[in-house]
Structure 1
Amino acid sequence: MTTTAWRADPYTDALSRGRGRLFLRRDDGWMLPLDVERWCGAPDRADLTVLRRCLGPVLDIGCGPGRLVAALTAQGRTALGIDVSPAAVDRTRRSGGTALCRSVFDPLPGEGTWRTALLIDGNIGIGGDPVALLRRVAELTGGPARIVAETTADDTTDERCEVRVEDADGARGAPFPWARVGARALRRHAAAAGWRQARQWTAGGRVFVELRRR
């Protein structure tokens, strides 16, 4: 379901160009802009705060075009990106990163050994069920593992919805489940999945939370 949606032409076309006006759109008309140019660029100052929190081998879940994976690789770090979009995986590889076209719920290399998992650019929403996602990340990580997740700016947001990727001309992809989660809700979902909040910070108008295994 998610794989089909993120392979839709509006998203693929935008990644191929490295730009384009894309949105996540609900059926009631609500739309969330997707920052394709930032995703396809180099890590910005907010991203650098995330990279500094990475410990050991890093798994970037929903890596998109791979700016974080490529940056970690350039530092000599072990990093793997996974994404259900072939265009995203291809762009990650061309930027120097290592990536696989997989869902986080598929079998993955090194299960139980990743020390840091990234859920950036709203990827805590993958699958529309944050608790299920965080439990899956617990299976993928080992030792004193950590998750660095990006939340909504509104601390109280806790929403499940069905969305589509849509471009400025109205071309739409297939519907898929998504979640939007603020820091307060993330703390609650994390506790249900065996994680605890270790740190929260804001950079560049974006909100990040570091979770540690309980």
Structure 2
Amino acid sequence: MTAAGSDVEDPFREVFARALRGEPCSVVGPGGLSAPLPVGRWNDDDDAHDASLLRHCRGATIDVGCGPGRLVARLARLGHVALGIDVVPEAVRQARERGAAAIVRDVFDPVPGEGRWDTALLADGNIGIGGDPERLLRRVRALLAPGGRVVVEVAAPGTGLQSSWAALHCGEVRSRPFRWAVVGGDAVAPLARDVDLEPGPVDRHGDRWSTVLRRPW
């Protein structure tokens, strides 16, 4: 039992599902610093900044950490073969409701089409999945066909590389801590080179930043 007045602890997937269903949710990082989880933006229709990001996608595209599916659904409407993967069943359910192809899957588990994807998309800060961007990029590279690309949304240049523990809080319910990372535009090129991806320039889209990392032929 949980003592009166203390938070109830649930797995990450359950707390994230609450947020996707509309419960106010915050992410709590080092030192107890808290920020709202931007679920509203993830649930909105894609916007001009998203369009600037997606124009870098080529051919068959896998959206890693697709969430409720706004980007993978847009890719499908643009004529791409597109698949979203996410560890949260509620996210996949909502993505499918948008008309997207999506499955419940951890990127580090076997993934359909491994070694044949033209593009892997890491949007909305998903380069931070697992708290180890080098490991994630190495895994994503393995999903690509030779000559494929990773389209990555990054934090503003000057942010560097930060990795820490975080937790989600929805009211009195909190998730178990999980590792997350933030990668700035100044830190992504060295990570890419370490896993044999060729970094491109960092582009700005309003208040968002992205780059394209290419797998050599």
Q: TM-score, normalised by structure 2?
A: 0.90
Three-state SS of the structure 1 residue aligned to 2:189 is: helix
Q: How many residues are treated as equivalent by the alignment?
A: 207
Q: Distance in 2 between matches of 1:133 and 1:32?
A: 24
Q: Distance in 1 between matches of 2:162 and 2:11?
A: 19
Output aligned runs, 1:73-84, within 5 Å.
73-84=76-87
2:17 paired residue among 12, 34, 49: 12
Q: Does 1:149 align with 2:152?
A: yes
2:204 paired residue among 191, 202, 205: 202
Aligned residue identity for 2:149: R
Structure 2 stretches of 5 or more lacking a match? 1-9
Deviations 1:86-120 (A, max 9, x none): 00000000100011101100101000000111111
Q: Is 1:200–1:207's contact at 8 Å kept on the other side of the alignment?
A: yes
Q: Distance in 2 between matches of 1:211 and 1:29?
A: 34
2:140 paired residue among 124, 137, 146: 137
Task: Quote the offset at 1:158 in angstroms.
Answer: 0.9
Q: Distance in 2 between matches of 1:211 and 1:57?
A: 16
Three-state SS of the structure 2 residue aligned to 1:76 is: coil
Cα separation, partners in 2 of 1:67 and 1:163, compared to 1, 3 Å: same
Q: Is 2:150–2:214's contact at 8 Å kept on the other side of the alignment?
A: yes
CA-atom RMSD in angstroms: 1.5
Q: Distance in 1 between matches of 2:58 and 2:168?
A: 33
Q: Distance in 2 between matches of 1:121 and 1:157?
A: 17
Deviations 1:57-100 (A, max 9, x none): 00000000000111111222100000000000000001000111
Task: Give the number of the structure whose residues are more often helix, by fraction.
Answer: 1
2:110 paired residue among 107, 110, 115: 107
Three-state SS of the structure 2 residue aligned to 1:7 is: helix
Q: Distance in 2 between matches of 1:117 and 1:5?
A: 27
Output aligned runs, 1:65-76, within 5 Å.
65-76=68-79
Task: Quote the offset at 1:180 in angstroms.
Answer: 0.8
Aligned residue identity for 1:6: F
- In the other structure, the counterpart of 1:120 is 123
Aligned residue identity for 1:86: P
Q: Is 2:169–2:175's contact at 8 Å kept on the other side of the alignment?
A: yes
Cα separation, partners in 2 of 1:44 and 1:26, compared to 1, 3 Å: same
- In the other structure, the counterpart of 1:163 is 166
Task: Quote the offset at 1:28 in angstroms.
Answer: 1.6
- In the other structure, the counterpart of 1:189 is 191
Aligned residue identity for 1:188: P
Q: TM-score, normalised by structure 1?
A: 0.91
